[in-house]
Structure 1
Amino acid sequence: MHLRSILVSLLLISTLAMAFTTKPAGQAADRKPNIILILIDDMGIADVGCYRETGASAKAGPQLPPTPNIDRLASEGIKFTNYYSAAPICSPSRVGLTTGTVPGKWRITSFLADRKHNRTCQQADFLDASAPTVARSLKAQGYATAHFGKWHMGGGRDVDNAPGIRQYGFDEYASTWESPDPDPLLTSTDWIWAKSDSIKRWKRTAYFVGKTLDFLKRNPGNPCYINLWPDDVHTPWVADETTLNEAPKGTEKPREFKAVLADLDIQIGRLLDGLKALGIDNNTMIVFTSDNGALPTFQGVRSGILRGSKLSLYEGGIRMPFLVRYPAKTPKGKVDDESVMSALDLFPSFVSLSGAKPDLTRTDGENRADVLLGRASQRTKTLFWEYGRNTESFRYPAGRDKSPNLAIRQENWKLLIHDDGTNPELYDLRKDPSETTNLAEQQPERVAGMRSAVLAWRSGLPKL
């Protein structure tokens, strides 16, 4: 064999060897991530220890317990300080996350309950099953999908015709009473909890974490998308058997809240340990947030320096803790104070992370996948909110925390205003995140432009 032929043969063998030795590593680097969306119920931003430097400790009220395991998500990933829910109350905020669109477009504007309540609130009885969903889109990209926890997008009470959870793209589920498919282990009676439940109220989060780890274990060959949506830390709080015996309907006292929050933190630690035990920790993105703000706030302690609470369009009702941990790709201990993000962004961002191109014509959000991976950037789309279609159904909260029923954020500016165009409140959130100084009179041109934009947005939403 000629020397040239020998060299060519050796080069070919070397190239093939490199291909076979490097391909698996390349595949590992390019694997689609598991995505676990942890949505806590009614969590104030200062409920999370790593956000308490915002001033919660300076307020009079109960001392909140540490949250070391939730804080691990921040120290091992990214803490965001400008993330917003889609609404200041449960059902529409979940619809926004699920569909990537403004919940009012699906005629859901308050918490879903019985048919009479829904009509009074001028809303539908359930999320239309034809709506785009994160789970359905990721399923098309090869993901195994599951929903474990609270649903609250239709079903329960006298709403007996809501679509089942599978119709929204989920392979498996285990849910609570406020769903079309309540888990019988959690709902032995026609109510949120009962003494006869096999899984007691204070053990639910552990149950959902167990379901999550089991689902991941049973799907080793597929990327997984999981909604882990506990109904902690929503009131009334039932911390243990003693609480249930003393207060069968739960309490709203600080002692029980502290116990519920402490156990939630333990379960987050259990989840993190479970991912490592399964060998999938590195390639799993955990996104941790809340559906809306806290209530009660314990004299504002749970809202930190933010004004407002659940049911309010002030920052305490819609600006949420938001932590992202993805060891393979996110930096550790990063704080992103620059990127303004919305719950509406998660749908297109998750689709992008799966390797597909999100259809941005079907979402009101932006593809912020790069932001989730640690590359901060400015937002381009304006953010809008509504809460309060009429005075009969939307009377709360009372006092200083009750906001106008529309809000808009453009860059650092936020305008709150009633849907008849009255009582404008303008705040520079960079200088005044507590919304203490109304600048509407000093900035009439800015108010006029933002008022026009938010009223046009509101008039374009469908009516029931």
Structure 2
Amino acid sequence: MHIRLALSALTVVLLLSGFAASLPRFDAKPKQPNRLPNIILILIDDMGSADVGCYRSNSSASQLPPTPNIDRLAAEGIRFTNYYSAAPICSPSRVGLTTGDVPGKWRITSFLADRKHNRTCQQADFLDASAPSVARELKTAGYATAHFGKWHMGGGRDVDNAPGIRQYGFDEYASTWESPDPDLLLTSTDWIWAKSDSVKRWNRTAYFVDKTLDFLKRNSGKPCYINLWPDDVHTPWVPDEMTLNEFPKGTEKPREFKAVLAELDVQIGRLMAGLKALGVDDNTLVVFTSDNGALPTFQGSRSGTFRGSKLSLYEGGIRMPFIVRYPAQTPKGKVDSLSVLSAVDLLPTFVSLAGKKGSRSPGDGENRAAVLLGKPGVRKKPLFWEYGRNNESFRYPAGRDKSPNLAIREGNWKLLVNDDGSGTELYNLATDPSEQMDVSGQQPKLVGAMRPKLLAWRAGLAGE
């Protein structure tokens, strides 16, 4: 009798245990499918490091408008303090980012303009369509790809044979005047903007954000890679109709700059709200950076603690804001001051995050996927830059902001020199990020090791 009751009780316990096991666990987080991330690369035009609030020192904060939405990106992700563009001017910086190579390898040395200008800069008229491309690499990994914004890697003016944007691996695009495929809503005339444009100059960034969100919505079944490259905050500034009427060619005054930067920040906020509304926020990797430094700098305030500006190889021309936000993977509110990153790293890094084992071209960058996901790491390869092959067609900043035309960073050391071997300067960026104290005279062995390496690198680049 007692044995039968004990067995019956045991049976009930087992049945209840099985029933409980079959119930959903409301206290456990449901497993998410292993999805590839959407990747949105936001490339701002001529944004200095101190243009972003969270990168400012107290001394520059009062002169520049707040950027709460961009700051929120950093608060919800990782803010990097040692990221470099590939060049201190737009076209080569974009080529380095797109190809994973130093831009001189593809004969792009300055901003692309008409054929005569390009010849005097010893450069091609456009990026070779056979060059490696982030978008093309990610398409082979199953990504839908789009480019919305400024291109400036060929096309426009009298260059009428530049490859179309699709030839670089993009499924869709909408671009500005300096491209092979300008959007007619933005370019009603043969110039950067006009009163007759359907989308006015001050509404362009909103237009590109709308395009981005629409592309994500229409391609919800697959991962997306999107270049969101507004042409703000590049001069001349046209924040509204009143400014356009008063200054038909735009202005370079602080009041208009502040209005353009404030509107850009609003649109970054719209983008992030849109990602949440689409339900893709958690699985979208957003990278926010700039193509090169600011000009004008308003007495250096837009470059923050750094020396230099756009057109300079001092830090103010090439060390850029760089923020990564990817809620599914990255920690919040982290600052990485150890990892040295470059625009040429983005191609191999994005390829890795897309699940591919490697790109077809090894390139000049490093795979820094672990760094973007929150694990700081020491750089293995040195970084190289060039800008200014002659005094005929290259523009330079005034005074102390004009740098020698070659630079290398290796570890914490940065050496600058002219390509004829003159003008050597050496800085320890760990102790002197503002590049105020040239220690080349105190470090002859280091100069003797770095300078030949830099000059040999320059000698190996393509010429005319």
For Structure 1 versus Structure 2, the TM-score category normalised by the shorter chain is over 0.9
**Which is further off, 355-364 or 414-423?**
355-364
Rounded Cα–Cα distance in structure 2 between residues aligned with 1:326 and 1:103:
29
- Which residue identity lines up with residue 335 of structure 1 in the other structure? V
- Aligned-pair CA distance for 1:84: 0.1
The secondary structure found in structure 2 opposite 1:362 is: coil
Kindly provide the amino acid, as one letter, of the partner of residue 396 in structure 2.
Y
**Paired AA for residue 230 in structure 2:** P
Tell me the residue number matched to 1:7: none
Per the alignment, residue 3 of structure 1 pairs with none
Residue 71 (structure 2) pairs with residue 67 (structure 1): no
Paired letter, 1:284:
T
CA distance in 1, matches of 2:170, 2:341: 25
**SS across alignment from 1:359:** coil
Cα separation, 2, equivalents of 1:264 and 1:359? 33
Query: Which residues of 2 match residues 340-355 of structure 1 at below 5 A?
Result: 340-355=340-355
SS of equivalent residue, structure 2 residue 454:
helix
Mapped partners of 1:282, 1:121: distance in 2: 44
**What secondary structure, in the 3-state scheme, does the structure 2 residue paired with 1:109 have?**
coil
Match of 1:163 in 2: 163
- Alignment partner for residue 39 of structure 2, among 27, 35, 39? 35
The residue correspondences of 1:170-209 to structure 2 (distance < 5 A) are 170-209=170-209
| 1:422 and 2:422 correspond | yes
Query: Counterpart in 1 of 2:50?
Result: 46
Q: CA deviation at 1:55?
A: 4.7
Matches within 5 A, 1:192-271: 192-271=192-271
Question: Where do 1:287-302 residues align within 5 Å?
Answer: 287-302=287-302
Q: What is the CA distance between 1:160 and its match in structure 2?
A: 0.1
Cα displacement (A) at 1:54:
7.2
**TM-aligned CA deviation for residue 281 of structure 1:** 0.2
Whichever residue aligns with residue 339 of structure 1, its letter is: S
Aligned AA for 2:67? T
Task: For 2:412 and 2:303, locate their aligned partners in 1 and report how far apart those are by CA, in whole Å.
Answer: 20
Deviation at 1:363, TM superposition (A): 1.0
Residue 91 of structure 2 aligns to which amino acid in structure 1?
S
Q: Is the 8 A contact 1:360 1:366 kept in 2?
A: no
Distance (whole Å) between structure 2 residues aligned to residue 397 and residue 415 of structure 1:
19
**Distance of 2:385 and 2:294 partners within structure 1:** 18
Q: How does 1:396-435 map to 2 (within 5 A)?
A: 396-435=396-435
Are the counterparts in 2 of residues 85 and 292 from structure 1 also a CA contact under 8 Å?
Answer: yes
Contact 2:351 2:359 in 1 (8 A): no
Amino acid at match of 1:103: P
CA distance in 1, matches of 2:52, 2:444: 37
Match of 1:45, as an amino acid? S
User: Does residue 125 of structure 1 match 2:125?
Assistant: yes
- Whole-angstrom CA distance in 2 between matches of 1:410 and 1:360: 26
TM-score (norm 1): 0.93
Q: Contact 2:127–2:153 (CA<8 Å) still a contact in 1?
A: yes
Cα distance in 1 for partners of 2:30, 2:81 equals 35
Letter in 2 for 1:416: L
Q: How far apart are the structure 2 equivalents of 1:244 and 1:388?
A: 33
**Cα offset for 1:358?**
1.8
Instruction: Map Cα deviations across residues 370-396 of structure 1 (whole Å, 9 max, x no partner).
Output: 000000000000000000111212241
Secondary structure of residue in 2 paired with 1:356: coil
Post-superposition Cα deviations, 1:280-328, rounded to whole Å, max 9, x if no partner, equal: 0000000000000000000000000100000000000000000000000
Cα distance in structure 2, aligned partners of 1:136 and 1:423: 41
Deviations 1:242-296 (A, max 9, x none): 0000000000000000000000000000000000000000000000000000000
**1:111 maps to 2:111:** yes
1:438-457 equivalence runs, <5 A: 438-457=438-457
Separation in structure 2 between the aligned mates of residue 369 and residue 55 of structure 1, nearest angstrom = 34
Distance 2:95 2:444 in 1: 34
1-structure distance, mates of 2:30, 2:411: 41
Q: Normalized against structure 2, the TM-score is what?
A: 0.93
Counterparts of 1:414 and 1:170, CA distance in 2? 36
Does structure 2 retain, via aligned residues, the 8 Å contact 1:348–1:360?
no
Q: Could you list the per-position Cα deviations for residues 122-158 of structure 1 after superposition, in whole angstroms to 9, with x for gaps in the alignment? A: 1000000000100000000000000000000000000
Letter in 1 for 2:317: G
* 2:372 is equivalent to residue 368 of structure 1: no
